[in-house]
Homo-oligomer: A and B are copies of this chain.
Amino acid sequence: MKEVARVAGVSLATVSRVVNGTGEVRPDLAERVHEAVRMLGYRRDLTASTLRRADRQSASIGLIIEDVSNPFFSAVHRGVEDVARPRGVLTFVGSSDEMPERERELAETFGARGVDGLVIVPCAADQSYLMRDHQAGTALVFVDRPPRYMPGHAVVSDNAGGARAAVAHLMRHGHERIAFLGDRLAVYTAEQRRAGYREALGSLPAIERTELVSSEHGYAATLELLQGKHPPTALFTGQNLITIGAIRALRALGRQRSVALVGFDDITLGDLVEPGVSVVAQDPHALGRRAGELLFARDGESRLVVVPTTLIERGSGEIPAF
């Protein structure tokens, strides 16, 4: 910058004004500055700029998700990017792998880098450690799950509503023995989906298997249920991997055309499988987009945004009870 000023024969302040487009500068001087910038290949240092600036905005945000390579969360990521980019804001991203200490570590590092905001899929039992950043002026939005032990904006799917819709759908096809196969109930989404399941069941018997954390768990639980005494005629799987495990198990038993199945969260290529996999689809991109919008709005009040889900009928959920 000093170089540019020297070559253009102006002061540092003028270069700054031209480069930032702030303040009035005589056109011919501005042109000389631009010329020098081109000649020297000058590019202003945004970090130094942030340091000195009055508003101290770094035009960067942090995003903490479970895993950047998980299709659900990478769609959330894209949603956030799509609202950040038009604002000229860059995104730092990190995977927490559902480990609380990684979540904290990432939040810590992002904070030390002076991000203007943080979008976070919380996994720690307690997010109150973020109060410091919040008070320091970092905007905060939680996504997929609400925060615990601290207030804050949150954008979540309609987990309970989607689950109710799935179960009601199965009931409409005559099912009275509908099993729920769910994730760790400690996770908000799993607990909400089970709540929806129970609500929709009414007086029908609840058949529940929870704490299933992999497709293998889903596979085993499905086998066990269907080979048991009073097997269910329909399955409602509360998560992606569990759905896949259930499909494999139904195939292994040759029951994929006789036992109904609705999964929560969409399955890639769910329509190419036979029968097609009926699901309650979430909209992860919208989740990210709404979170980003909330982040930049910088509202005071804590808001909970609920993104609707959609039931997609592809065959497996429309198999009748008998």
Contact = CB atoms under 8 A, between A and B. Distances in A.
Interface size of A as a range: 35 or more
Counting chain B CB atoms within 10 Å of each CB, which of A67, A68, A108, A110 scores highest? A68
A91 B90 contact: no
Nearest to A272: B273
A215 to B, nearest CB: 11
Interface string A115-155: 00000000000000000100000000000000000000000
Contacts of A43: 108, 111-112
A251 B112 CA distance: 54
Instruction: Report copies per complex.
Output: 2
A74 interface: yes
Contact of A71 (B51, B60, B71, B113): B71
A77 interface: yes
Contacts of A45: 51, 112, 114
Contacts of A91: 92-94
A114 B68 contact: no
A207 to B, nearest CB: 24
A92 B91 CA distance: 6
10 contacts: A43-B108, A43-B112, A47-B114, A67-B78, A68-B93, A69-B74, A71-B71, A81-B93, A91-B92, A269-B273
Interface of A: 41, 43-48, 50-51, 58, 60, 67-71, 74-75, 77-78, 81, 85, 88, 90-95, 108-114, 132, 244, 247-248, 251, 267-269, 272-274, 285
